[in-house]
Amino acid sequence: MTRPWPPLFAAARPSLPPSGVSYALLWLATLLAEIVPVPHAGDAAGLLLLAFLILEWPRQRRYARIVFVAFCATGLAGIALAARHHAAPIGLFLAGWRRGAALAAFYFALATLRDAAETSPLFRRSGRHLLAQPPGRRYAALTAGGHLFGVILSYGAIDLLGALVHRPQRGTLSPAEGALRGRRMMLAIYRGFCATNTWNPLNVMTAVVTTAVPTAPMRFLLPFAFVFALLMLAIGWAEDRLRWRGRPEPAPASKAADGWGVHARLVGLVAFVMLAAEAANGYLGGGLIASVTLVVPVIALAWIALQMRGIARLGPGVSPGASALPALPAWLARRSLRFIARAPAFRAEALVLGASGFMGVALGGALPRAGLAPLLGSLPALAVPLAVPPLLMLTGQIGLNPIAVVALIGAALPDPASLGIAPAALAFACMLGWALGVAVTPMSASAITTARWLHVSPWRVSTVWNAGFAAASLLLAWGAIAGVAFAARGLALTGGS
């Protein structure tokens, strides 16, 4: 059976804005620098990022402009201080934007996978199955779905599932019962997404932590962080059951058309991306982050090609029922151009990533080789990693992005082992703290999206409703960080990622 050509497959060739072309060339230059490597390609990527940000400056929001000015001013002050200690200011400036470009290229690659997911019916089928679960399983199903969808779609998972949650329902729910139902379901999805920030290799967190603590063994840490994410989901489920015990839950409006097997292909997609990145890193080198930056767009194109099976209406002049295979290269080229045309929409993310990377490198160059280690030397070695999660939670309350905070931690502690701090423990603390910070900050895109669906303030969703969940997760995080610290000390886990 054939199906119509989806809107994003439209045949019209899009016009390419200069900023979108700059972002695409930035991605390419980063790969040439990290994997080939081509001399000065990384510097070119940094300059292309600056060009992109300058071209998109008129369309940036006021908050993003303030962040950019503040981060760049801090970085330039760091370069000025470094120049007084005979450092090369131009070299440090280029190195900072080279780091920022690598982070922005990583985000560009991840966005290609989300773009491919937009035209895949698999996500909506999976979402409808989750919502059709009986009351006793609904929270667990939705929080697991928010987690799985979040791995691929980032906070777009909240919008996709939120639209399904808030479809008109048949039944006799009162407005109060409907509001409570929506709150519990949306919090399940929101918490599921937040937990992805502990371990997801397809998340900006992984790239930022890897660059901030480059000697940390990320391959060792990611499985442990995944276990912690599952425990976070369990804490959310327990909090929901305790808070609303005795409250009747409405039955689903419809029965599930699919079985649990509908989710297997999404799990397989995530596993395949991770295995492909590992294989690329083993064959080409360049590090895991560079490998993800390379393979994800390739997998996204392959996924789009698979979506073309059974599509009949290819455009003018193509007969119904015709095979899509002969037109495949042209359609993939058009889809790629359409994605580049949409790249300027990533302006805010590219600004925060790029400016944070620049600031972290510039401040690192201004600080002594040991960073702030002499000032922290009197503290117990475990105190610094344990302080990271509450630091990220508190700074999130004032709108400071975890990208910037973790970059500053990396600049302040370039060699954590000099303080007796295992790099694994510091990186693990950043990973868990990142998720906790996202869970309680009212200024994250995930909190704002959830609040919009519930018609309440982001502060109520994140800081008020999530307070108990976040407090219990913080206690668990402290125990997990201490465990990793002791394990790292015993096993001397200081190898690279």
Task: Convert the pLDDT of each residue in 2-16 to its tens digit.
Answer: 444 445 555 556 789
pLDDT of 189 higher than 60: yes
- Condensed to tens digits (0 to 9), the pLDDT of residues 40-61 reads 999 999 999 999 999 999 999 8
Under a CB-based contact definition with an 8 Å cutoff, are residues 104 and 354 in contact? yes
Indicate whether 246 and 393 sit together in one domain.
yes
Give the distance, in angstroms, between the CA of residue 491 and the centroid of all CA atoms in the same chain: 30
Instruction: Report the number of distinct structural domains present in the chain.
Output: 2
Q: Which of 44-58, 251-265, 401-415, 450-464 has the highest mean pLDDT?
A: 44-58
Which of 321, 336, 366 is the endpoint of a domain?
366
Indicate whether 249 and 316 sit together in one domain.
no
Under a CB-based contact definition with an 8 Å cutoff, are residues 438 and 446 in contact? yes
Residues in the chain: 497
pLDDT of 256 higher than 70: no
Examine residue 160 and state whether it is found in any structural domain, yes or no: no
- Condensed to tens digits (0 to 9), the pLDDT of residues 466-492 reads 999 999 999 999 999 999 999 988 776
Under a CB-based contact definition with an 8 Å cutoff, are residues 269 and 296 in contact? no
Under a CB-based contact definition with an 8 Å cutoff, are residues 149 and 160 in contact? yes
Distance CA 186, CA 191 (A): 9
Indicate whether 211 and 117 sit together in one domain.
no
Compare 489 and 95 and report the one with higher pLDDT: 95
**H or E segment to which residue 56 belongs:** helix 41-56
pLDDT band at 73 (very low <50, low <70, confident <90, very high): very high
Which of 366, 391, 410 is the endpoint of a domain?
366
**H or E segment to which residue 157 belongs:** helix 156-165
Indicate whether 496 and 386 sit together in one domain.
yes
Q: What is the 3-state secondary structure (H, E, C) of 352-366?
A: HHHHHHHHHHHHHHH
Q: What is the mean pLDDT of residues 434-459?
A: 91
Examine residue 158 and state whether it is found in any structural domain, yes or no: no
Examine residue 76 and state whether it is found in any structural domain, yes or no: yes
Indicate whether 384 and 496 sit together in one domain.
yes
Examine residue 373 and state whether it is found in any structural domain, yes or no: no
> Checking phi first, is residue 309 left (phi over 0); if not, alpha (psi -120 to 50) or beta?
beta
pTM of the model: 0.84
Examine residue 49 and state whether it is found in any structural domain, yes or no: yes
Examine residue 184 and state whether it is found in any structural domain, yes or no: no
Examine residue 63 and state whether it is found in any structural domain, yes or no: yes
Distance CA 110, CA 336 (A): 14
- As a whole number, the mean pLDDT across the chain is 87
Q: What is the mean pLDDT of residues 390-403?
A: 90
Q: What is the mean pLDDT of residues 272-287?
A: 90
Indicate whether 394 and 331 sit together in one domain.
no
Indicate whether 387 and 358 sit together in one domain.
no
> Checking phi first, is residue 88 left (phi over 0); if not, alpha (psi -120 to 50) or beta?
beta
Examine residue 285 and state whether it is found in any structural domain, yes or no: yes
In degrees to the nearest 10, what's the CA dihedral of 389, 289, 17, 308? -110
Residue 230 belongs to domain spanning: 195-253+380-497
Indicate whether 344 and 395 sit together in one domain.
no
Which of 306, 335, 366 is the endpoint of a domain?
366
Indicate whether 59 and 205 sit together in one domain.
no
Indicate whether 127 and 259 sit together in one domain.
yes
Under a CB-based contact definition with an 8 Å cutoff, are residues 289 and 206 in contact? yes
Indicate whether 208 and 338 sit together in one domain.
no
Indicate whether 322 and 467 sit together in one domain.
no
